[in-house]
């Protein structure tokens, strides 16, 4: 590791500045980091320190498990060219929205088309009935007032017919995904939770989808991007397969793969995944393609990631992984041993997080340490 970056990161690990003000504040960073709630989202301040330490000015960085884009977005905000890969359509939409600059008139156009579609749309009673009975902890019919649910079903159909491609389409669908459930007035659901769809409670009240989405889109558009912002590139795909050829000459790969002990991600996201098109069959088959599930059998799933990384990193580039250690699994040690088959050096740092909060509650879950594996 270059002496400069080595000592810079050592200092971060000793002082943990992201645990101190202003970085420790819940809302630190660009407000659009909160475009859509996502379980497993990294704290933007941690992403910031990793990006600032390991990516040189104007450098290129990839996150192969980019989730809702915290690392690419933080890189883009700091004038670095960012790439991201995620297998989840939900993560892909939200991260794509964050790394692009959107025009408000083009957003208004997308919303107008969506509104027109919803108002002209007809759905059979059978289709509505089948979908309203779908669900896991509770059914969709229990989350939504019937007219609101009709609008949600129509909007789902609209985006399945017209998969988002432009920055503005990504922003509109991400805003809609965000307002699907929550515990505040912005949410289309009955009272639930913004990240995990907790069992709903309270009255069934009609909420206009277009109104709620428009509010959320306006809020995002009102956030100014810094002059040095550089648009990024997000790919929907499996990062254990060969990466797109345009992902090359990287100064750094910075990523937080799924933790070994993480809960079933698809249950925490089920309403939003359903909205992107998942159905009963997809919920059975799709999770098996995710590293969350694959690594339960073997960490060999990371071999192809290290192979891709070695090929795409510049000489002197870094591969930094943010990991979780629990009583069941020391991810850092396992991946360190594996990384040394592909790279010269791999240094592991750890941070005790046994008393940290999750969802505003002291986390009694099994991850006791966060680990930073710095590979070169
Ligand atoms: C811990 S989350 C990353 C969160 C991210 N740092 C953020 O702040 O949003 C891990 C991500 O890995 C993704 N993932 C799982 N298996 C994958 C695969 N085979 N290829 C690409 N992404 C995958 C999941 O969809 C999830 O978004």
**Cβ < 6 A, ligand 1 pocket:** 38, 40-42, 65, 67-68, 70-71, 85-88, 91, 238-240, 256-258, 290-292
Q: What is the pLDDT of residue 125?
A: 95
What is the four-CA torsion angle of 174, 179, 184, 189, rounded to 10 degrees? -160
CB atoms within 10 A of CB 134: 16
Q: What is the pLDDT of residue 241?
A: 98
- pLDDT-derived band at 363, boundaries 50, 70, 90: very low
Q: Please tell me the distance between residue 238's alpha carbon and the centre of ligand 1 in angstroms.
A: 10
Q: Please tell me the distance between residue 235's alpha carbon and the centre of ligand 1 in angstroms.
A: 12
Whether the per-residue pLDDT at 1 is higher than 80: the answer is no
For 10-68, the pLDDT digits (tens) are 999 999 999 999 999 989 999 999 999 999 999 999 999 999 999 999 999 999 999 99
Q: What is the pLDDT of residue 365?
A: 54
- With DSSP H G I counted as helix, E B as strand and the rest as coil, what are the percentages for the chain, rounded to 5? 45, 15, 40
* Nearest CA residue ID for atom 25, ligand 1: 88
* Nearest CA residue ID for atom 13, ligand 1: 65
Whether the per-residue pLDDT at 304 is higher than 80: the answer is yes
CB atoms within 10 A of CB 102: 20
Whether the per-residue pLDDT at 217 is higher than 70: the answer is yes
Q: What is the pLDDT of residue 360?
A: 45
Q: Please tell me the distance between residue 259's alpha carbon and the centre of ligand 1 in angstroms.
A: 10
> Model's pTM, two decimal places?
0.96
Mutate to test the pocket of ligand 1, among 94, 195, 291 (most ligand atoms within 8 A of CB): 291
Which atom belonging to ligand 1 lies closest to the Cα atom of 240?
19
Whether the per-residue pLDDT at 169 is higher than 60: the answer is yes
Q: What is the pLDDT of residue 357?
A: 54
For 119-131, the pLDDT digits (tens) are 999 999 999 999 9
CB atoms within 10 A of CB 158: 19
Which atom belonging to ligand 1 lies closest to the Cα atom of 88?
25
Q: What is the pLDDT of residue 362?
A: 42
Q: Please tell me the distance between residue 90's alpha carbon and the centre of ligand 1 in angstroms.
A: 11
Q: Structural domain boundaries of the chain? A: 3-101+225-375, 104-221
Whether the per-residue pLDDT at 236 is higher than 50: the answer is yes
Whether the per-residue pLDDT at 99 is higher than 50: the answer is yes
Mutate to test the pocket of ligand 1, among 30, 40, 41, 269 (most ligand atoms within 8 A of CB): 40
The 3-class SS string of 282-331 reads: HHHHHHHHCHHHHHHHCHHHHHHHHHHHHHHEEEEEEEEEEEEEECCCEH
* Nearest CA residue ID for atom 3, ligand 1: 67
Q: To the nearest whole percent, how much of the chain has pLDDT over 70?
A: 97
d(CA 231, CA 76): 6
Enumerate long-range contacts of 119-123, CB under 8 Å, 24 or more apart: 121/154, 121/157, 121/158, 123/150, 123/153, 123/154, 123/157
Among 6, 111, 15, 90, residue whose Cα is nearest residue 53: 6
Whether the per-residue pLDDT at 113 is higher than 80: the answer is yes
Among 317, 319, 321, residue whose Cα is nearest residue 295: 321
d(CA 349, CA 342): 19
* Nearest CA residue ID for atom 22, ligand 1: 86
192-218 mean pLDDT = 97
Q: Give me the CATH topology for the region 3-101+225-375.
A: Rossmann fold (3.40.50)
For 226-235, the pLDDT digits (tens) are 999 999 999 9
Q: What is the pLDDT of residue 364?
A: 43
């Amino acid at each position: 590791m270059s002496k400069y970056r080595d000592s810079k990161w050592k200092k971060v690990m000793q002082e943990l500045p992201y645990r101190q003000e202003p970085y420790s504040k819940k809302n630190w960073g660009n407000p659009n980091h909160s475009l859509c709630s996502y379980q497993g989202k990294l704290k933007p301040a941690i992403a910031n320190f990793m990006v600032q330490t390991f990516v040189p000015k104007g450098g290129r960085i990839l996150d192969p498990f980019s989730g809702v884009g915290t690392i690419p977005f933080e890189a883009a905000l700091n004038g670095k060219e960012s790439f991201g890969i995620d297998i989840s359509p939900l993560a892909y939409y939200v991260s794509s929205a964050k790394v692009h600059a959107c025009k408000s008139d083009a957003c208004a156009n997308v919303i107008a088309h969506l509104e027109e579609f919803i108002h002209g749309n007809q759905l059979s009673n059978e289709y509505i009935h089948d979908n309203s009975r779908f669900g896991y902890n509770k059914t969709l019919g229990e989350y939504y007032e019937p007219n609101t649910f009709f609008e949600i079903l129509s909007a789902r159909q609209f985006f399945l017919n017209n998969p988002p491609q432009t920055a503005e389409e990504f922003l509109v669908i991400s805003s809609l995904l965000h307002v699907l459930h929550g515990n505040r007035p912005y949410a289309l659901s009955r009272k639930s939770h913004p990240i995990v769809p907790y069992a709903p409670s309270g009255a069934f009240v009609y909420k206009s989808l277009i109104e709620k989405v428009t509010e959320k889109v306006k809020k995002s558009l009102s956030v100014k991007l810094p002059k040095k912002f550089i648009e990024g590139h997000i790919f929907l795909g499996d990062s254990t397969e060969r990466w797109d050829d345009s992902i090359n000459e990287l100064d750094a790969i910075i990523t937080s793969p799924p933790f070994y002990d993480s809960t079933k991600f698809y249950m925490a996201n089920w309403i939003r995944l359903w909205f992107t098109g998942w159905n009963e069959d997809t919920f059975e088959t799709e999770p098996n393609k995710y590293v969350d599930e694959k690594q339960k059998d073997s960490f060999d799933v990371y071999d192809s990631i290290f192979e891709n990384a070695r090929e795409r990193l510049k000489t002197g580039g870094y591969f930094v992984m943010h990991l979780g250690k629990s009583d069941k699994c020391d991810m850092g040690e396992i991946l360190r041993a594996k990384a040394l088959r592909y790279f010269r050096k791999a240094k592991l740092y750890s941070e005790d997080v046994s008393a940290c909060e999750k969802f505003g509650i002291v986390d009694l879950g099994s991850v006791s340490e966060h680990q930073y594996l710095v590979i070169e």
